[in-house]
Amino acid sequence: MREDDVAHVADVADMVHLDYPENPQVFAACFRHYPSGCHVLEGDDGKVAGYLVSHPGRQDRPPVINQPMSGLAEPFDCYFLHDLALGASTRGRGFAGEAVRIALDEAKARGLSRVVLIAVGDAHGFWEKQGFGLLGDGLLDPAKGYGPEARMLVRPI
């Protein structure tokens, strides 16, 4: 990802995550604090068609939806797969699995032993197929804004 991709990433997020909107400042903050965890997927037309936003963090301080991070929560005890979205034209082509591999590799490079994420909507089954399972009971503080069906998932490395 490059800084000028942030607006396009926000556009993809708006199309994919209808029930979980995040303003462009969220993506800009993630890029600013941990650019090596931010990736875009270009479609056949050369435009941003998907993205991965990830970063090291703390399991007890997950990202708050639609709120830009002021910094990375330290000391790190996990690697957050903060957000992954693929536009319709990119689905079913293995890109999501590749994004998970990127996050796993980045976590390993940082010396972290697990990747954590918050599954929303009907994505739980997808994440289970990617090797993620509930972290404890998976429940989140409602103040984080993810909704009652959201669950925190983990995949050991």
pTM: 0.93
* Token duo for residue 149: 């069906």
155: phi then psi, degrees, rounded to nearest 5 = -135, 115
pLDDT tens digit string along 53-98? 999 999 999 999 999 999 999 999 999 999 999 988 888 888 899 9
Residue-wise pLDDT for 85-136, tens only, equals 998 888 888 889 999 999 999 999 999 999 999 999 889 999 999 999 999 9
**Contacting residues for 44 by C-beta, under 8 A, at least 6 apart:** 89
Q: The dihedral of CA 65, 31, 50, 39: what is its sign?
A: negative
Distance CA 99, CA 104 (A): 9
